[in-house]
Amino acid sequence: MERCLYPGRTWPRVRLLLAVCFLWMVMTSMRPGRAGGPMIIFICAMGVAMCALTLAPGAASLKLDSQGFTVRYWFKEETYRWTDVKEFNLITLRYVGIIPVRRSVGFRFSESYGKRNIVLRIAGAIARFDRQLPDNYGMKAKELLVLLEGCRRQAVGVDANQYPVLAPAIEPK
């Protein structure tokens, strides 16, 4: 059941292009001898480097297997077991509280996951999720949500037919 998903390349390339354009704009509009000018250019160059790093092969992925899933972002991996996840949720970032801008997938930890201090518990209660996936890995957020929740329920042994939202999307094997 092992499956590996990789992020799409369109939006990271657009972000890199915008960062390069912003750096060029800052460099050409900067007056010689202006205080703080080199620091602003350095900060913009670091933004370009970070955008370019996300395009490096192997920098980001999501690996699903029967035990759990591994999120890799900027060459750093974090592994979560299916039993440590209580549920996956759809997160919608809204502009001015009305217009949906971006959708992503987040998840809440179950009670068996003991690596949370009181501050993280309070933040999770306010936000209604404990962690957010950094990318949708070339899928729509709802499709990724259905895939992850289906894998979690299959691994934990919960019957997917109890939940009418997910039942039609999961293919019988």
- Residue range 82-97, pLDDT digits in tens: 988 888 989 888 888 8
- Return all residues near 151 (Cβ < 8 A) that are at least 6 apart: 1, 64, 69, 82
**Sequence-separated contacts (24+) of 32-39 with Cβ below 8 Å:** none
pLDDT tier at 163, thresholds 50, 70, 90: low
pLDDT tier at 160, thresholds 50, 70, 90: low
User: Do 149 and 85 form a contact (C-beta atoms < 8 A)?
Assistant: no
Q: What H or E segment, with its residue span, contains residue 153?
A: helix 141-156
What tokens were used for 55?
A: 């395009």
pLDDT above 90 as % of the chain: 17
User: Do 69 and 61 form a contact (C-beta atoms < 8 A)?
Assistant: no
- Return all residues near 107 (Cβ < 8 A) that are at least 6 apart: 80, 85, 86, 87, 88, 89, 129, 130, 131, 133, 148
Tell which residue, 151, 146, 148, 140, has the closest CA to residue 166: 146
